[in-house]
Amino acid sequence: MTLCAFQIELRRIPSAVSEPPLGEIRLQWWREALDEIRDGKTPRAHPVVEALAESGLAAPVYAPDIEAILDAAARPLYGEGFSSLASLESWLKAAEGGFDALAAKLAGGDAALARAAAGAGTAFALAREGGGVAPNLAAEAHARAKALYKDTAPALSDAPPEASPALLHLSLTPSYLVCGGKAFPARKRLRLFAAMAFAHY
């Protein structure tokens, strides 16, 4: 929950500022807030910062993961498009797959599971958002999401039960591929239930 709240905070920065430098200032605020926790200082009076401290997410061991996520969060500030599938995939792997890898680690997964979660998270993001983020690459993003999910999903099914909450949403990738990234409330609930009951992603 803390990780999702942190993700939401970063995602809303581009729409909350009028120009890129202001967004960079907000991202730096998060960097400094996390550094203060690592230095043993009292967390800033912000519910998500306090949760980051309590959950252990601010621990030094996760610092490289979070720094990569923060770096990726800066790109939307500048409204830059994507000229190739490789650049789109690379950004989504850092911005979205990075959260999934970190979630897998927090849930007790090993390095192999974290890598699989990062790949599956990238496939999820390509299926759900690829066409919207880069309309010129929609067809390529769809094909890449399908292939990447096929490669990474088997490793998720071997994950320990305690990691399930961190991985369940990734089981929605096939449905996003079918629906073209659009919402599907009823099917989503059924798919999540199936993944939770049978550990099938």
Q: What count of other Cβ atoms lies within 10 Å of the Cβ of residue 55?
A: 15
Please check whether residues 94 and 53 belong to one and the same domain.
Answer: no
Q: Which of 33, 55, 80 is the last residue of a domain?
A: 80
Please check whether residues 98 and 166 belong to one and the same domain.
Answer: yes
**Verdict on whether the full-model pTM lies above 0.75:** yes
Domain count, the chain: 2
**Predicted confidence (pLDDT) per residue in 27-39, tens digit:** 999 999 999 999 9
**Predicted confidence (pLDDT) per residue in 83-141, tens digit:** 999 999 999 999 999 999 999 999 888 999 999 999 999 999 999 999 999 999 999 99
Please check whether residues 174 and 95 belong to one and the same domain.
Answer: yes
Please check whether residues 118 and 135 belong to one and the same domain.
Answer: yes
Query: Which pair of tokens denotes residue 125?
Result: 């993001």
Q: Which of 21, 48, 80 is the last residue of a domain?
A: 80
Q: What count of other Cβ atoms lies within 10 Å of the Cβ of residue 91?
A: 20
Which residues lie below 8 Å from residue 52, measured CB to CB, with a gap of 6+? 2, 6, 33, 34, 37, 43, 58
CA–CA distance, 173 with 193 (Å, rounded to integer): 14
Please check whether residues 69 and 163 belong to one and the same domain.
Answer: no
Q: Which of 61, 80, 99 is the last residue of a domain?
A: 80
CA–CA distance, 91 with 110 (Å, rounded to integer): 23
Please check whether residues 184 and 138 belong to one and the same domain.
Answer: yes
Crossing angle of helices 63-73 and 98-106, rounded to 10°: 150
Residues counted in the chain: 201
**Looking at residues 10-34, what average pLDDT do you find?**
96
CA–CA distance, 56 with 52 (Å, rounded to integer): 6
* Domain assignment of residue 112, given as a range: 84-201
